[in-house]
Structure 1
Amino acid sequence: MDLDDLTPESLLSQGLQALRDLLGPTWQVTLQPPSQEARSARGLDALVQVQSEGDSVFTQLLIDLKKNITPRMVAEQLLPKVDLVRQVNHYTNPMVIAPWIAPRVQLMLREHGIGYIDLTGNVYLRVERPAIVLYTEGDTRAPRSAPARTSKATLAGPKVGRLVRLLADVAPPYRAGELADAAGLSLPYVSRLLDTLEDQLLIRREGRVITDVDWPQMLRARAEQLNLLRHNPYVGMVAPNGIPQVFNALHNLLTNEPSQIVVTGSYAARMVAPLAVGGQLMLYVPAGPHTPDEIGDDLGLLRVDKGADVLLLRAHDKVVFERTVYEGGVHRVALSQVVLDCLSGPGRMPAEGEAVLDYMETTTDSWRAPQLPS
């Protein structure tokens, strides 16, 4: 999907064709001349009449075409227009058509009764008369060629994790320069990242001061860009004497010779929010080429190609070792890192990540620092 070649006319045409395909041949979807509602709500691009054959009842869809739409655009641009339209005509239904609409934006649109269509198959429309209920799911991630070319940073890449972790682990207020110093990142890069987070309504600022962070949604948004086992190359091991013996060996190893070996994944989640039993023990280790085998020997593990019950993950970035917690005789990653790893992990791990998020929301004062480290 090449946005450079996607004109508003083409976007509208493809969106309406998707609507016709879903409704079927007994429905008519017809472009109408601009109405008073469209003239009143500048920026809404087309008026479409939807009617079933043989039925005198019809509905009108007021279309807003977007090449890209963010939560901030919904809150600050679209909702005021929609409120104005509904004051003029309660029976006109707003709808957004875009190449791709992110899951969080879809949720915001549904919550405000706004229909949407994107060209990957995400569709929502609910009308009382005539009775229409459409809801389909398409791509949950932006197609590779879909994002418009922009200088803004994205939530992908290892350096983003440093800022996301810091914003989650430390309560505001703070400024971009303070975050850049604490995270070891350049100020221009941090400024671009903060612009992106503000567009997603994940942070709020008063002037240059960040006053609020929606850290649960921010961690979810960051996790959507990750794949735990792909971004952290791992070595599979088997524990011949069982997982409890691995914990004993790990405790002794850390006592005698402290090193960067930290528990993450299901076992880390279970320390604060037990949801299930079993699963693979995942340990972050430094990213040296022979480190997993050396640590495996120290812990009494055997390397295997299949059937591993222990995974030694070469950390993709040093941030996974920051603000670790000593608990149960071992070190585990910080709760924000547990969430990121579980939400981006396989199997039942995303559910475990959500359980940890629930725990974090009820115990914020116990884990979130009141100010940035000096």
Structure 2
Amino acid sequence: MESLLISETNLLEQGIQALSGLLGPEWQVTQRPNESKVFDAALEVRAEGDSIFTQLLVETKQAVPPRFVMDRLVPKVQLLREVNHYTNLLLIAPWISSQARGLLRQNGIAYLDLTGNADIRVPRPAIIIHTVGAEKAPRSAPRETSRTTLAGVKAGRLVRLLADVPPPHRATDLHRVSTLSLPYVSRLLDTLEDQLLIRRKGRIITDVDWAQLLRARARETGLLSPGSYRGFLAPNGVPALLQQIAQLPKAYDGGLAAIDGLSVTGSYAAQRFVQVAVGGQLMLYVASWLNADDAADELGLLPVAEGADVLLLNEPDSFVRRRSEFVDGVQYVAPSQAALDCLAGPGRMPAEGEALLEFMEAYPEEWRASKKANGAPPVQH
């Protein structure tokens, strides 16, 4: 794919070409003089030989954060409909995220991006177009002002804190508890606010859409990236292995694996709360201070290239064990971490992650912490 870092003029031209291609040769798309300084262009769309046409006022945007949709486009289209009910707004961009596309559809705003995502609905003349393009931003796609994303270990720490602990929050508290730099925390919070994943009043975070935050984080990560895990076979089966893990020593002792250095995630962690399917691969995070080979030998696991029923995952950060819980002598990651890992996993795991999110939304008291539990002082208003 060619670079999407294009000028506003070229963006408009490519958008018009894409619209013409979607409509087909029996339709005409004509750019008209733009008498309004509020919009970037005015298009007239009509079928050949038909006197009925519709006018599309075009807004071009290099990047479309959800906050832009709600704060800028929705008020524009509401005013537009008061003036002329038959004129429609069309947003053209290099790429539009699924969250932004959902907000555009909810508010009746047509959109088209250069990766193939489009939704245009006009009552007269009758036009209904809905196509799906890229679900993830191409690497060459323009980014919003803040280049800080939800990818990477540091973002994972902040996501877990925001999901696990109800607001209010201050950036300074999040910086202190996460040990991340304050400038980084501030930049990531700006990104989350643009994506409507958090709401702020002044400097205080007043609301967190934690379920969407976990989904957004999962889209930026992959649980089983190359080199991040190894597959094994448990000779006596997974239930027997879990009992064996519960008998491990409490502390690291030479080649012996300590019980708190292994933590269950994925399907088995989700099945503590929801039952989408039975079994699955047992996924275990191995703490950085443990040797995975020694742990596998201690547990009698057999390395295999295919058909593994146990996966030992390299722990990317100690925060994955934050607020973990021991059940029958086995350590399980917190529900928020289990949901993240399932959503970012293969096969049926995303469905298990969604089921776990439903449980978490229904029973927040079962997993969310308090300010006191987080170690951060209450915000003073």
Task: State the TM-score, normalized to the length of structure 2.
Answer: 0.93
Query: Is the CA contact (8 Å cut-off) linking 1:169 and 1:336 kept in structure 2?
Result: yes
SS at match of 1:96: strand
The residue type paired with residue 175 of structure 1 is: R
Which residue is 1:265 aligned to?
Answer: 266
CA distance in 2, matches of 1:242, 1:261: 17
Following superposition, the deviation at residue 147 of structure 1 comes to 2.5
Structure 1 position 328, deviation (Å): 4.0
Q: Deviations over 1:302-354 (max 9, x none)?
A: 11111111100001111111110222431111111111101110001111100
Provide the secondary structure at the position in 1 that maps to 2:306. Answer: coil
For residue 300 of structure 1, report the CA deviation from its aligned partner. 2.2
Are the structure 2 counterparts of residues 115 and 91 from structure 1 closer, same or farther at C-alpha, using a change threshold of 3 Å?
same
8 Å contact from structure 1 (residues 232, 315) kept in 2? no
Question: 2 CA distance for matches of 1:266 and 1:134?
Answer: 38
Equivalents in 1 of 2:49, 2:94: separation in Å? 33
Task: Give yes or no for contact 2:233–2:301 (8 Å, CA) kept in 1.
Answer: yes
Contact 1:63 1:97 in 2 (8 A): yes
CA distance in structure 2 between the aligned counterparts of 1:373 and 1:297, rounded to whole angstroms: 38
Contact 1:14 1:119 survives alignment (8 Å): yes
Which residue of the partner structure matches residue 181 of structure 2?
A: 186
Query: Does residue 245 of structure 1 match 2:240?
Result: yes
Which of 161, 170, 175 does residue 165 from structure 2 map onto?
Answer: 170
Distance in 2 (CA, whole Å) between partners of 1:193 and 1:103 is 20
Pick from 198, 203, 207 the counterpart of residue 208 of structure 1. Answer: 203
Could you tell me whether the CA contact under 8 Å between 1:117 and 1:124 is conserved in 2?
A: yes
Equivalent position SS for 2:331: strand
Higher alpha-carbon deviation: 364-373 or 75-84: 364-373
Do the aligned residues in 2 keep the contact of 1:172 with 1:370 (CA within 8 Å)? no
Q: Which residue of 1 aligns with 2:379?
A: none
Alignment length (residue pairs): 367
Give ranges in structure 1 of 5+ residues lacking alignment.
Answer: none
Structure 1: which amino acid aligns with 2:357?
Answer: L
Partner of 2:313: 313
1:116 aligns with 2:111: yes
What is the one-letter code of the residue matched to 2:174? L
Which whole-Å deviations, capped at 9, do the CAs of 1:175-231 have from their partners, x for residues lacking one? 000000011111111011111111111111111111110101111111110010017
Distance (Å, rounded) in 1 between the aligned partners of 2:16 and 2:214: 35
- State the Cα distance separating 1:152 from its structure 2 match: 3.7
Task: Note the alpha carbon deviations across 1:53-73, whole angstroms, 9 max, x for none.
Answer: 122221111110001110111
- Residues 55 and 328 of structure 1: is their aligned pair in 2 closer, same or farther, counting only changes over 3 Å? farther
Q: Secondary structure at the match of 1:253?
A: coil
Q: Is the 8 A contact 1:236 1:312 kept in 2?
A: yes
Out of 334-343 and 324-333, give the one that drifted further: 324-333
Contact 2:65 2:144 in 1 (8 A): no
Separation in 2, partners of 1:231, 1:170: 32
Q: Which moved more, 1:162-171 or 1:298-307?
A: 298-307
One-letter amino acid of the counterpart of residue 155, structure 2? V
Distance in structure 2 (CA, Å) of the matches to 1:229 and 1:78 = 38
Q: Does 1:93 align with 2:88?
A: yes
Q: Give the letter aligned to residue 174 of structure 1.
A: H
* Alpha-carbon displacement from aligned partner over 1:286-314 (angstroms, at most 9, x marks no partner): 236x7222111222211111111110000
Distance 1:63 1:268 in 2: 48
**Partner Cα distance (1:322, 1:70) in 2:** 30
Residue aligned with 1:323, SS: coil
2:276 aligned with 1:281 = no
Moved more, 252-261 or 140-149: 252-261
Q: State the distance in 2 between where 1:212 and 1:140 align.
A: 26
Aligned Cα root-mean-square deviation (Å): 1.6
- The one-letter code sitting in structure 2 at the alignment partner of 1:295 is A
The one-letter amino acid paired with 1:195 is D
Unaligned runs of 5+ in 2: 252-257, 377-381
Q: 1:286–1:314: 8 Å Cα contact kept in structure 2?
A: yes
Q: Quote the residue 1:348 is aligned against.
A: 348
Q: In 1, are the aligned partners of 2:94 and 2:142 still within 8 Å (CA)?
A: no
Contact 1:174 1:209 in 2 (8 A): yes
Contact 1:269 1:353 in 2 (8 A): yes
In structure 1, distance between residues paired with 2:370 and 2:226: 31
1:59 to 54, 57, 62: 54
> Which SS does the other structure have where 1:113 is aligned?
coil
| 1:72/1:123 CA distance change after superposition, 3 Å | same
Relative to the length of structure 1, the TM-score reads 0.94
Whole-Å separation in 2 of the counterparts to 1:368 and 1:77: 34
Question: What SS does the aligned partner of 1:205 have?
Answer: strand
Asked if the contact 1:235–1:292 (Cα under 8 Å) also holds between the matched residues in 2, the reply is no
Structure 1 stretch displaced more, 188-197 or 255-264: 255-264
Report the AA paired with residue 317 of structure 1.
D
| More deviation, 109-118/294-303 | 294-303
- Rate the CA distance shift 1:300–1:345 in 2: closer, same or farther, 3 A: same
Letter of the 2:344 counterpart: S
Tell me, in whole angstroms, the C-alpha distance in 2 between the residues paired with 1:252 and 1:57: 78
The aligned residue for residue 255 of structure 2 is none
